[in-house]
Amino acid sequence: MALLSKKDANLILDPLADNNPITIQVLGICSALAITAELQASLVMALSVIFVLGVGNVVISLMRNIIPSKIRIIVQLIVVATLVIIVDQVLKAYAYTLSKTLAVFVGLIITNCIIMGRFEAFALGNGPWKSFLDGIGNALGYGVILIIVGFFRELLGSGTLFGIPVLGNPIEKTGLYATGYENNGFMIIPPAALIVVGIVIWVQRSKNRALIEEN
């Protein structure tokens, strides 16, 4: 492992599984519920958060010694807001229909608890390189869950993946639909995301018993 020391590698790998921001820390749930009905929207949301959190963590980390601690939240907000507006404008310019689908949720990345959480908990106390890795790692952990949830919701709810029909045509009754199969309307509505996230948490904790809290 020449590229990253073991410690650095853990910064990226930990949030992917054993310290996942969604399934373990249960942060950033709102957007996970709202935009995961389609895989494409999930993917774009994941990429946006990777960009915002990766760059934001570096910026905050570089400024960590000059930010007065009394106004640090405001400074953090300005950094996130700037990055989010960049993402929003890029989406509007190059993927207009998609930005319509994501609607207000791109703007709401600002309020995503994961981002402020990483700024507070990590970037304010660590150097830029480590902060970058931590930001990427946490955003990837968030993105992985988004894509898992989006995959199941789109497949079961609409019978498509990335908008491409994979189970046949529901109107002409081809493919799987010829056998009487029908799309599951429940998967389209946000409560289904809550249940899918719950199942992911269930599977993860039964695979790794150390994650189960004592109570």
Q: Where are the beta strands (DSSP E) in 64-177?
A: 160-161, 164-165
Contact status: 202 vs other proteins (CB under 8 A): yes
- 162 sits near other proteins (criterion: CB under 8 A): no
| Share of the chain residues as helix, strand and coil, in percent rounded to the nearest 5 | 75, 0, 25
Rule CB under 8 A: choose which of 78, 189, 203, 208 binds other proteins: 189
User: CB neighbours of 189 closer than 8 A, spacing ≥ 6?
Assistant: none
Residues 164-183 that bind other proteins (CB under 8 A): 180-182
Q: Is residue 184 part of the contact set for other proteins (CB under 8 A)?
A: yes
- Please work out the total of residues on this chain that contact other proteins, with binding judged by CB under 8 A: 11
CA angle, residues 99, 88, 31, in degrees to nearest 5: 70
Check residue 125 for interaction with other proteins (CB under 8 A).
Answer: no
For residue 122, give both structure tokens. 């990590």
Applying CB under 8 A, does 73 fall inside the site for other proteins?
A: no
Counting contacts by CB under 8 A, is residue 185 touching other proteins? yes
Structure tokens at 152: 């199941």
| Chain contacts with other proteins (rule: CB under 8 A) | 180-182, 184-187, 189, 195, 198, 202
